[in-house]
Structure 1
């Protein structure tokens, strides 16, 4: 797999100091020209819909609007050319397994040293899936950084870790607008978000409720 483009990277985290520090590493050590910051999930979705040169998107699990790794899956589906990964303070095995099952590019704990974070992100950019060393039987950094989707699925049973969670408050707002018959443009105007963000929330709602179109979405839930 070819390397992801490194024109711009999105860092979505509600802690400004961490965004700044991670942004420095991404520019200084990984060659990104632009670091785009977002403090909320909706703001991150807006940036993705507005900018076409983002090659990597990094999300913190505890930021406003993110209910878990599953909520990031729709971003991967909507923007297949963007590598999506989690950089989080959580070291729960369940969160890592959900990230892998969702098809994300990796799960990088914030507790890692700078060199380890750089190595993890480099592997994600190269198309490999990064999982923390505590998820490997050998515990070696090399084993944690050379996983492929097939190897991970074989090593861990991810069944039962992607249970359906309630929709987010913003998705509930979008759903209410759909029930009222509003268009994407009208929803964006009413909720003060980008139209591209509306499309992502709709994709998540279609997946959540198993609906094929807006009519089914409005009548099934």
Structure 2
């Protein structure tokens, strides 16, 4: 399949924590879309830093199961901070419920990791044209849900607040978070106050419970 335009360079970012798949996907994109400039990143944190330096991109291909993005919460954050950037979710699973949740939370498409390179390129064509790409046989009916409202609230968090909330979701205590981020416990508590206000909750337990609704566990898609 030919690339969209031989005269313009597409800027794509692949975000996946598995080196073999990340490299294979980047190589496949390079072969089928020679006009692309492709960057490969290993974590959601690296993507946040990349966007902080330069957000002039055409498309983000985002792995669903990044360890530091808690399922669909990374997508929610991206839609809140960079609504102009289309995000194509990539996963080894294409369970209809997960696909629907991703679309409801703002994904421009959902692609299985088992797709061949030509299908991948076609999916990118559609997404860059402003259309939605979903697995064969899936009905992309739009839906508004509580999760969509939650995704919007998560999208209001700053990058540091998002990192802290992810760490809370992993069960870390304030002092552990402070050590990991090289900040004081008082700063962590100040961020927690802002997080709870943005999520409209009263304590950290409620914040984690709400945040975990955006998680996608392996057993949910097996």
Could you tell me the TM-score, scaled by structure 1's length? 0.63
**1:28-107 alignment, distance < 5 Å:** 28-107=31-110
Pick the aligned partner of 1:171 from 143, 165, 168.
Answer: 165
**1:68-217 alignment, distance < 5 Å:** 68-136=71-139, 152-153=141-142, 157=143, 159=145, 170-171=164-165, 190=182, 205=195, 209-210=199-200
Which stretches in structure 2 are left out of the alignment for 5+ residues?
A: 155-160, 184-190, 208-222
Which stretches in structure 1 are left out of the alignment for 5+ residues?
A: 137-146, 181-185, 192-200
| Length, aligned pairs only | 178
Tell me, what secondary structure is at the counterpart of 1:85?
strand
- Cα RMSD between the aligned structures? 4.1
Tell me, what secondary structure is at the counterpart of 1:8?
strand
Tell me, what secondary structure is at the counterpart of 1:97?
helix
Tell me, what secondary structure is at the counterpart of 1:59?
strand
Cα drift, residue 173 of structure 1: 5.2
State yes or no: 1:17 paired with 2:20.
yes
Q: Residues of 1 paired with 2:127 and 2:33: CA distance?
A: 12
User: Residues 65 and 170 of structure 1 are in contact (CA less than 8 Å); yes or no, is this contact kept in structure 2?
Assistant: no
Q: Deviations over 1:135-172 (max 9, x none)?
A: 14xxxxxxxxxx6xxxx31xxx5646659699976425
Q: Residues of 2 paired with 1:188 and 1:51: CA distance?
A: 25
Pick the aligned partner of 2:29 from 26, 30, 41.
Answer: 26
Q: Residues of 2 paired with 1:207 and 1:121: CA distance?
A: 37
